Structure 1
């Protein structure tokens, strides 16, 4: 047991040292090539042709998998700490724009599918599992949080009442507009469009357009308006 703890501390120190030494080397001084080469020794996996700009922070790099052709821009923070089974997986062609925050906590898997674009200042956080599909567009300042705080006991501080976490699924080919909030337990079906500023509290059927607070389906992507009977059907199935 002592040997395992010593090895774990040594591994964390190695990660911290490399990320501290290499993380802020500018692109013009070969920073991208150095990071692409030497980060392989501390990450779970890094593919080929990965672009990691200077000023990117990684925590618990051994829980992070990065596919081929991934772009990660300045100010991104990817945090895999909290549990040895945490996994953050960026598939081939994922783009993380500036100041994206991704955090796993307590046996969490966060998976972002191939060729998905994550816009500036998006926040994605566990501890519930989060799966974002392929070819998605997630616009700036969107928040995807797979947990809820318990608050039923008014005599105790909310932060001591624990949390619930069901997980979030965003299927392939979805477009989430700027400032969308996706709450725990939600599945957004394939091909959906979620309007800017919407708060998604319930499942959205595939190929739907949803807007508002809370988000409501207003039409399908074939252009058909949602009738009252269809709305009632969707509400009763939630």
Structure 2
């Protein structure tokens, strides 16, 4: 068991400092197998981030502290291919990975706040702001910004309820989280 933990730490180190060295990744980073990160410009990840196996980030993204992605989560671009290119099938049209790409989505950044949990198979589209403390249910498709400390589910994702039962509980939680990351 100890050997497995050591191997995981080595793998995390390899990805953080070798494979994804051009991105900013905080302390206590862990990624499951089959994870893929790519951004045209930048990915910035805070401390205590866990990304489950076969998850993908494929857009400019800023992720806060204390965030967890379950398995098969996707953070993907809305405009990865120039589908309005006249006379060109979408498959052959310029894409955001091409240097000459000058279409929509160039400046979009997805922002995922602190203390967020993204459930199994959820998809977050580029340019969306997932606010602090949110929980995104398994299989949800997040197409719009969220409210802080709320739970979202569905396709497209809609607010289901507040994360905490009272304002007092929420404020107590926020103070504790802020103390942890100061």
Shorter-chain TM-score tier: 0.7 to 0.9
Of structures 1 and 2, the larger Rg is shown by 1
User: Residues 79, 136 of structure 1: CA spacing in aligned structure 2 closer, same or farther, 3 A cutoff?
Assistant: closer
**Could you say which residue in structure 2 is the equivalent of 1:134?**
65
Unaligned runs of 5+ in 2: 97-103, 167-182
**Could you say which residue in structure 1 is the equivalent of 2:87?**
155
* TM-score, with structure 1 as normaliser: 0.56
Is residue 45 of structure 2 the alignment partner of residue 112 of structure 1?
yes
Cα distance in 2 for partners of 1:122, 1:162 equals: 21
> Once the 2 structures are TM-superposed, how far is the Cα of residue 92 of structure 1 from its aligned partner?
0.7
Cα distance in 1 for partners of 2:152, 2:50 equals: 20
Does structure 2 conserve the Cα–Cα contact (< 8 Å) formed by 1:147 and 1:167? no
Map 1:18-37; keep pairs closer than 5 Å.
none
**Could you say which residue in structure 2 is the equivalent of 1:23?**
none
Cα distance in 2 for partners of 1:155, 1:197 equals: 35
Unaligned runs of 5+ in 1: 1-26, 33-49, 59-64, 67-76, 81-86, 225-238
What secondary structure sits across from 2:138 in the alignment?
coil
What secondary structure sits across from 1:93 in the alignment?
coil
Does structure 1 conserve the Cα–Cα contact (< 8 Å) formed by 2:83 and 2:93? no
Cα distance in 1 for partners of 2:73, 2:11 equals: 22
Q: Which has the higher contact order (CA 8 A, sep 6+)?
A: 2
Is residue 91 of structure 2 the alignment partner of residue 91 of structure 1?
no
User: Residues 125, 220 of structure 1: CA spacing in aligned structure 2 closer, same or farther, 3 A cutoff?
Assistant: same
**Could you say which residue in structure 1 is the equivalent of 2:174?**
none
Bigger drift between 178-187 and 156-165 goes to 156-165
Does structure 1 conserve the Cα–Cα contact (< 8 Å) formed by 2:39 and 2:61? no
**Equivalent of residue 145 in structure 1, options 65, 76, 91:** 76
Runs of 4+ in 1 over 6 A off after TM superposition: none
Does structure 2 conserve the Cα–Cα contact (< 8 Å) formed by 1:130 and 1:146? no
* TM-score, with structure 2 as normaliser: 0.72
